[in-house]
Amino acid sequence: MRRMNTLITSLVAFSFGFIGSMPLAGPIAVMVFSTSVRRHYGAALRIGFGAALAVSLYAAVAFWGFSTFLAKYPVILPVSHGLSAGVLTVLGVHFARWKLKDEAKPEQEPNRKGLLLGFTIAALNPTLLATWSTAVAFLYSLQLVSFSGLLALPFGAAAGVGVASWQVVFVGLIRRYESHFPRHVLTWGVRVMGLLLIAGGVLAGIKFVQEV
C-alpha cells in the first residue's frame, strides 16, 4: 500500500511538473527559449534543470504543509507578490528589448553557469510555493493517497523530474524547428514573451499593493 501511495503521488507530481511547465509566459520558459534560439542548447538545458531543482524543493515544502505555514504567517503572501513583481518586471524589460545575434556558434556555449542561473531565477519566484500548495490541495481533494510527511521527498523529486523532462522536450523541439523560422519571427517571439512577463509583474505588483 505504501508503494502504491508513493507511485501515485509521484505520477501526479510528475504530471503537474511537466504540464505546468508548458506555458511560455514564465521567466524560465523565456530564458530557455531565448538561449535555445541562439543555439546554446546545452546552456538552455542547464537553465531548465536548475529551475527543476528549485521547483522540486518548493514542491516538497508545499507537500510538507506550507499551506498551513501560510495561514499562520499571512505576511509571506504579499512579500512573495512584491518579489515576483520585481523579478518579472526586470526580466520582462530585458527580454522585451531582446535581439537575436550571431555572437556564438552552436558548439560555443558561453553560459557555463546556466544551472545556477535557472535555480536562482526559479528560487526568486516564491509564488511557486503558493502554486504547489494549490497542487497539493488538489491532490488531497482527490483522496487518491494517504498524506504523509514521508511522501514529501518523492513528491518534490517527481515534480522536478517532470519540469526537467519538459525542458528536454522543449529544447529538442526548438533545436529541430528553429531553422524553419525567420530571425525576426524568433526575435519578436522572445519580445512578446518579455511583454507577458511585464504584464505578470504588473499584476503581481497590484496584488502586493492591495495586500499591504
Predicted local confidence at residue 104, as pLDDT: 46
Which of 75-79, 91-95, 99-103 has the largest mean confidence?
Answer: 91-95
* Direct distance between the N- and C-terminal alpha carbons of the chain, in angstroms, rounded to an integer: 46
Q: pTM for the full model?
A: 0.72
HSE-CB at 118 with a 13 A cutoff on CA atoms is 31
Angle, in degrees to the nearest 10, between helices 2-20 and 152-177: 40
Instruction: Say if CB 56 and CB 157 are below 8 A apart.
Output: yes
Question: Cα–Cα distance between 139 and 130 in angstroms, integer?
Answer: 14
Stretch 31-47: mean pLDDT: 89
How many residues in total does the chain contain? Answer: 212
What confidence tens digit (pLDDT) does each residue in 169-211 have? 999 988 888 777 777 776 777 778 778 778 877 887 887 788 7
**CA 25/CA 10 separation, integer angstroms:** 26
